[in-house]
Structure 1
Amino acid sequence: MSGEDDSDMYYSDDDCGYDDYYNMGDDCDGDQLDYRTSDPEYFSYECLRVEEVERLLNESIEALSDALQITPSIAKVLLHTNEWAASPNLLSSNKCNDWTQYLFGCRKPSHLEFIGNKLCCPVCLVPSLAEKFSHLACGHLFCNDCWAMHFEVQITQGISTGISCMAQDCGLLAPEDFVLSLLVRPQLREKYQEFAFRDYVKSHPQLRFCPGPNCHIVLRSKEPKAKRATCELCKTSFCFRCGMEYHAPTDCATIKKWLTKCADDSETANYISAHTKDCPRCHICIEKNGGCNHMQCYNCKHDFCWMCLGDWKSHGSEYYECSRYKENPNIVNESVHAQAREALKKYLHYYERWENHSKSLKLEEQTLEKIKTKINAKVMTASGTWIDWQYLMDAAALLAKCRYTLQYTYPYAYYMEPGPRKELFEYQQAQLEAEIENLSWKIERAETTDRGDLENQIDIAEKRRTTLLKDFLEV
């Protein structure tokens, strides 16, 4: 990786890649401009290593230091507390003027007691020579031993850039060079610098640490959005804005609320929503072992929907009713207990579908492995090459991408206010769900599915997904 020219260092989702299953089958050879305008999930970012991030931060520090004629250490404090705003903006901001006035024009020397020719430290009360004392720009004097102990306690607690003066009601932050000048132990100095670097990255609006385990890559985007980013080193994918799993079309605040609610209520939902259901015709117990919601009873061959148990033959025209929740218009006039039951019923409707698509994704991973095994067998028996059978892998990849998006439409729908926009969203959601189930059904029966029919279904499903995201993905 080169760090020469930031403008040429960008990676799209395709460049860094999604996880293997989600990204399989993506085409990286298309026209980039068309891709940016046609794909609502396109996101431009770069993956940086620690030394590249340090160089990036130092450029901002040096520019501000030269402009204000201050030390780089104080420039770091100013930039960190102003979220690394560009130097011209920082220089013209009232906040910066207040800070510089505070740093250089508000010195209030401490009134310390003298014992002979020595000063008495107000913390440890031990008299020492004046050269054993230090102070920040605020002028509050303390002995170097107390400063060092103060820093050690703060760093042990994980605090670095937030270390302030020891004087009561003084919030002046200690610059990095002042802290390092009084820290003796190398381990503490190293830990302090590590914590400070972490704080600088977290406060920078364009930078995000990769959330992957033990990964030190930092991702940078000049337009930080709630889009999918993938670390080029450990392949961890996440939402750039909030750091959680990618959750389009649901926004960051909504998915956080939803996951909190699921954590609180999931046991109730799991208790009510069993893993097995009875066939609506012959009532034999059926366990779901595939991702597709189009079920066929092995006993009576009845085709039905796993979610609503409706007849699949008439399900095409009723899919909208299956995926949407029917609000009770008279619920406001009901008792508190009735409203609580209705609220639980609504939550379970969305939770069951959210959880079902999550399970379907895992089950379809097994289908993918079966497809790979079949392709290997065909290649070994000279029944075509990998390229001849690539369309099956493309279908599985697109199915995963569509189902992932569909899963995250349910938190979005749960918190939407009733109205025309929600009706449009639920209509598009139902259309996407119908095409996904058709695609899943055909993939699971790939041996008997016509290639042209499957490729046509891939195109239809992706168009449904893209249309929904274009209309409802918040950027």
Structure 2
Amino acid sequence: MDESDNESELDFDDYYLETDDVGQSDLDPEYLAYSCLSAEQIEQLLNEQIEALTKSVKVTPSLAKVLLHAHNWDVEKVKTLFLSDKNKLLVDTQICVTPHLRLGAFSRLTMPSTCTVCFVTSSPDFLRSLGCGHLFCKDCWIMHFEVQIKQGITTGIQCMSGDCKILATEDFVLSLLNRPRLREKYLQFSFSDYVKSHPELRFCPGPNCSIIIRSMKETKAKRVICTSCKTMFCFRCGSEYHAPADCETIRQWLSKCEDDSETANYISAHTKDCPKCHICIEKNGGCNHMQCYTCKHDFCWMCLGDWKSHGSEYYECSRYKENPNIANESAHVQAREALKKYLHYYERWDNHAKSLRLEEATVQKIKDRINSKVMTNDGTWIDWQCLLDASALLARCRYTLQYTYPFAYFLDAGPRKELFEYQQAQLEREIENLSWQIEHVETANISSLENQVDIAEKCRVTLLKDFLEV
């Protein structure tokens, strides 16, 4: 009983977690070696890089932070630039200006001077300047820092003088800030800036999650899953994982979906008419292979075509047939064709997203069924584990298939698109076969189900290997 209780707690959202173990093969096109670290661990990592630079070129930690932040935390690159031309590096990094532009120091250090912000005359020891030489009183600097920090600006704080863009280093800021709360905010915002500028690091986008992901080998658009909040996302852009679509493609797609949401509202309906007896049917599962409960006609939910035609060598339902002469048509006809094309891809994108949600209920039914069988001594959880494995694989395949539609929408016509559509069609056909077997598990052959799992996963991996940009 303990075994079944533990197994029944498996979450449908974990369909990707099983393949994310440390021992996962690098042959997986989605695989990325990464670790989930705390802020303290990341701070230690950054400090090690800062220390490495300070020891090699003899600069202060504060200056090292500015240099590394400006050059993607590449210690060797900064070291090379520093040794090659120190002055040029400091000027390019906005630490100082060229010597002929720098304002001279007071000729008479004991003489009072006027702050050009508040116009209050002060003694020289009450004035401070950055590498540009522009002098301002401490009070004005502190007020300037407070305003900037409240706006979330820390590593980008610049000189107060007109067009001067010289940056304020950390030690300069902290030497003047005396309010503990403001100092803490400054350090928090600075740390956030350092993480965002580091190519190997990315904050987990999960709600209220403090984990930072570190990529161990590469900084590509690969899948990562936070071990703390279980959020799955793309390492490169931080948005929801979107293979095989690249980051720019999915950004354009989501923007278009948002703009055209009203034109696609009709798709949200969960009912369609049976193409044979015309009775209204509601989709209550993830599978697109529908069977009318009245006339028993088998048809495709997406195109309403006879399901037998979907068993052919080429699964045409996923492919959009463009008008080859559309360029010669009027602007009105072209606009209608563009909308028709968009709705074709949007409907299939949206359908797979809904199918993923509907199949959660199917998985729960499978768990209940397995519990019932185990309770009546009809096998053990291990004997029935293949059903849960098949459900997890189905969700993984459907998730990938969902993101093939934005990819296909923006893909230029040609041999590459034809190959992609062929592989997309194969994956879609095998997914629907797998989904049908899972939903009819009572009558399904277990060995046939396991074979279908292997076929579907091979189709998914093949498509990703050929079209996932790495």
Q: How does 1:42-441 map to 2 (within 5 A)?
A: 42-88=31-77, 90-92=79-81, 97-101=87-91, 103=96, 106=99, 108-109=102-103, 117-221=111-215, 222-271=217-266, 274-317=269-312, 319-441=314-436
Q: How far apart are the structure 1 equivalents of 2:397 and 2:183?
A: 49
> 125-134 or 94-103: which moved more?
94-103
Say whether the 8 Å CA contact 1:164–1:174 is kept in structure 2: yes
Question: Does the aligned pair in 2 maintain the 1:140–1:167 contact within 8 Å?
Answer: yes
CA distance in 1, matches of 2:17, 2:63: 48
Cα separation, 1, equivalents of 2:285 and 2:449: 18
The whole-number CA distance in structure 1 between the counterparts of 2:399 and 2:11 is: 12
Alpha-carbon distance in structure 2 between the residues aligned to 1:356 and 1:196: 43
Q: Deviations over 1:167-205 (max 9, x none)?
A: 111111100011011112111100000000000000001
Name the structure 1 match of 2:16.
23
Deviations 1:86-132 (A, max 9, x none): 23454237796523256385362369999x94211100011111111
Give the TM-score normalised by the residue count of structure 1.
0.91
The amino acid that maps onto 2:39 is V
Flag structure 1 segments of 5+ consecutive residues without an equivalent.
Answer: 1-16
Aligned length: 455
Structure 2 residue aligned with 1:13: none
Distance 1:95 1:381, change over 3 A: farther
Deviation at 1:230, TM superposition (A): 0.9
Sequence identity, in percent? Answer: 67
SS at match of 2:327: helix
Distance in 2, matches of 1:157 and 1:25, equals 42
Unaligned runs of 5+ in 2: 1-9
Show CA shifts across 1:296-349 (max 9, x none): 011111000001111012221275321110010111111111100000000000
CA RMSD of aligned residues (A): 2.3
- Aligned-partner residue type, residue 444 of structure 2: T
Does the aligned pair in 1 maintain the 2:373–2:379 contact within 8 Å? yes
Looking at structure 1, the residues matched to 148 and 11 of structure 2 have their Cα atoms a distance apart, in angstroms, of 39
Note closer, same or farther for the CA distance 1:110–1:278 as it changes in structure 2 (3 Å cut): farther
The aligned residue for residue 3 of structure 1 is none
Instruction: Quote the offset at 1:285 in angstroms.
Output: 0.9
Cα distance change, pair 24–298 in 1 and its aligned pair in 2 (3 A): farther
Name 2:6's counterpart in structure 1. none
SS of equivalent to 1:36: coil
* Aligned AA (2:176): L
Indicate if the aligned counterparts of 2:81 and 2:89 stay in contact, CA closer than 8 A: no
1:473 aligns with 468
Q: How many angstroms apart in 2 are the aligned matches of 1:355 and 1:108?
A: 60
Describe the shift of the 1:272–1:28 C-alpha distance in structure 2 as closer, same or farther (beyond 3 A): closer
1:24·1:393 contact (CA, 8 Å) conserved in 2? no
Q: Distance in 1 between matches of 2:44 and 2:21?
A: 30
Contact 2:286–2:435 under 8 Å retained in 1: yes
Task: Verify the 8 A CA contact 2:310 2:316 in the aligned structure 1.
Answer: no
